Structure 1
């Protein structure tokens, strides 16, 4: 059985390496046998059998990693027949030694121990059956053979353990690399979503207000009022557009600041938060919407990310009111609790048909709330549309998902 793994960084393919090793062992055995043949003679039949056994034993090494136990048995049998038959006494035992080592290195430890034990028993029984004074191997040599076989099995086992360790290290490194890449992709995705959400809130709110203001003055001008009235209306609208676009540029610079290079200066303008709620309401009023703000409880300083999330939720809600509802009034209520802030934005407009899916604005607000362990719901009310949000003061935490009800805002 082949190894279930291969450690990277190897040279030639395993089959080519096995063929090369078999060729080298064959050359060693053949040269050694030819040298020995000069000092020993034997019948031609035995010589032919000896060379056939050398060919079988050395040739089997080509398959030593594909069938390690089979190759070890074949080389052992070849040696068992070769040494009693051949008088040249070549080093065919090298082939069996390599096959025994490979058996242990390929994870067949029990088979390797069994083959080593069988070899020792066979050699011992063969020497015992020899007549007195005709032994081929003395006790010292038998002990050395035992140590040699044990060492082969032990080294093969150690090589197996080493390869297993290297494989585990390689797999851990690959897993760590994949995890690092996944984290990098996740971080990049989260950052893109965050920037997309910020740009949607900033530009969507400001452009919507500009659109409403421009549309209102154009509607008034189509009625062809007196020149003084028309000029005043146009001037009022342009002033509102100028103020709205100025605020949009300020917030846009702050949002794009996350993309600046390390050597660029950070934005110096004030960041958005509930402290600017009055300005936000004033911009919405410039469209003709009557915005009322209410607060209950004792306000507490919020962490900048939570403060920004609360501001964006109110901003997006007012944008939806101005664009979609046809409402005349809107109420922004802040309810301060000991551990959380609750927001309520409602209007007296047309609401939202239940069969229409939630828009990206509602989804973005819900994502902001969930990012800090809170929740957000948006649904039609008896007299308009209502958004409820809950933002804990603590650190971000995972929460259950609240699916906004039908809206296209």
Structure 2
């Protein structure tokens, strides 16, 4: 487990308090020089946050005790091994090199003290404690390096995992973009060519028609086809030039209603309240919801009329489309049509809500918040 600096300091502080209390207990039981050990234990508070300070403080106190009392300190000198381990495991490269020099100085002081006390004749016999200290330092250094390599390996593995996830996400996005491009090309080929054929046939029908009524009908078909063709091309090219592709919004609703009136649906529009500015994306979504609702009214409604109400309030815009339905229509199935699911999705995208009622009349009610809604990421 990797601890953040604050958590490391808290753990080390707790360790220092525990060690100091343990030294006080040894002093109460008659252990000599316990205060030296307590002073060394107090330096544990900066063991990992300032490993260099910790190592120098521990070795300095141990050397001072060695020169003054002429013997090793127990249990304080055990912290020398902790200091060596900490330098190898947590310190930077420069600090570790400095720690080697400090450890060498301590060993030199220890050997010098042995020579002063016992002389060169008894040096081999007196060297045993020093050899034990040196061997312990070497072992602590090796264990610290192993711990550093283990932690670095875990960090590198985590970094590799994050990079792999980002790479997979990027590949997924590229694949989705390529698939969207392919679908855009296919849609363009199908719809654009089909609509172009319809426009050409409508223009031909208007040219050869001798009566005014058929000519007017062919003219409306041609104009509708051209408008649809422009909209399809704008939608498919939106990703390439988003700033130059006009999108329909609230101001285009009247033209939309005019198109439905030509198709045989009389739409009564009512606006209430003070109109507010909308984000372009929300304006387009509202336009599509109205378009889908009126298309359902034209296809599945029982009459030739429908009503559209835009209720502007300070915090929300409520859009209501109502039309009559036949008594034998399966209303439970009608509320789950694909187009109505799209209405719900568009509303939820802008933190709005959609309510679809099917009783004597079919009503689609959508509420759009106007207080800077946060766009939720579609799952």
Contact kept? 2:351, 2:369, Cα under 8 Å: yes
Q: Which residue of 2 aligns with 1:369?
A: 347
SS in 2 for 1:237: helix
1:198-231 alpha-carbon deviations (Å, 9 max, x no partner): x99xx99xx99x99xx9xxxxxxxxxxxx86xx4
Q: Which residue of 2 aligns with 1:152?
A: 138
- The CA deviation string for residues 97-144 of structure 1, in whole angstroms up to 9 with x for no partner, is xxxx9xxx9xxxxxxxxxxxxxxxxxxxxxxxxxxxx9995322x245
2:324 paired residue number: 348
Residues 317-361 of structure 1: CA deviation (Å, up to 9, x unaligned): 112222233431111110001011110011113365214671221
Deviation at 1:268, TM superposition (A): 4.1
TM-superposed deviation, 1:285? 1.0
CA distance in 2, matches of 1:189, 1:362: 29
- Aligned residue for 1:259, secondary structure, equals coil
Q: Are 1:249 and 2:236 an aligned pair? A: no
Deviation at 1:397, TM superposition (A): 5.3
Q: Residues 140-219 of structure 1 correspond to what in structure 2 (within 5 A)? A: 140=127, 142-177=128-163, 179-180=165-166, 184=170
Cα distance, 1:196 vs structure 2:
9.1
Unpaired stretches in structure 1, ≥5 consecutive residues: 1-100, 106-133, 215-226, 400-409
Conservation of the 8 A alpha-carbon contact between 1:379 and 1:386: yes
Q: Is the 8 A contact 1:378 1:387 kept in 2?
A: yes
Counterpart of 1:125? none
Over 3 Å counting, the alpha-carbon distance change for 1:185 and 1:287 in structure 2 is: farther
Q: Which has the larger radius of gyration?
A: 1
Q: Does 1:332 align with 2:312?
A: no
* Residue 309 (structure 1) aligned with residue 296 (structure 2): no
SS across alignment from 1:317: helix
Q: Deviations over 1:172-196 (max 9, x none)?
A: 3244335535765887799889x99
Alpha-carbon distance in structure 2 between the residues aligned to 1:296 and 1:181: 51
State the partner residue of 1:138.
125
Structure number with higher helix proportion: 2
User: How far off its partner does 1:234 sit?
Assistant: 3.1
Structure 1 position 319 matched with structure 2 position 295: yes
Contact 1:274–1:310 (CA under 8 A) maintained in structure 2 = yes
Provide the alpha-carbon RMSD of the alignment. Answer: 4.3
2:223 & 2:145 partners in 1: Cα distance? 77
SS in 2 for 1:235: helix
Given that residues 257 and 267 in structure 1 are in contact (C-alpha distance below 8 angstroms), is that contact kept between their aligned partners in structure 2?
no
TM-score between the two structures when normalised by the length of structure 2:
0.53
- State the distance in 2 between where 1:290 and 1:185 align: 50
Q: TM-score, normalised by structure 1?
A: 0.50
Is the alpha carbon distance of 1:359 and 1:278 closer, same or farther for their aligned partners in structure 2, counting shifts above 3 Å? same
Count of aligned pairs:
243
In the TM superposition, 1:240-279 aligns within 5 A as 240-260=220-240, 268=244, 270-279=246-255
The residue number in structure 1 matching 2:218 is: 238
- 1:386 matched residue in structure 2: 363
Unaligned runs of 5+ in 2: 1-84, 90-120, 202-208
Query: What is the deviation of 1:240?
Result: 1.6
Query: Using CA pairs below 8 Å that are at least 6 residues apart, which structure has the higher relative contact order?
Result: 1
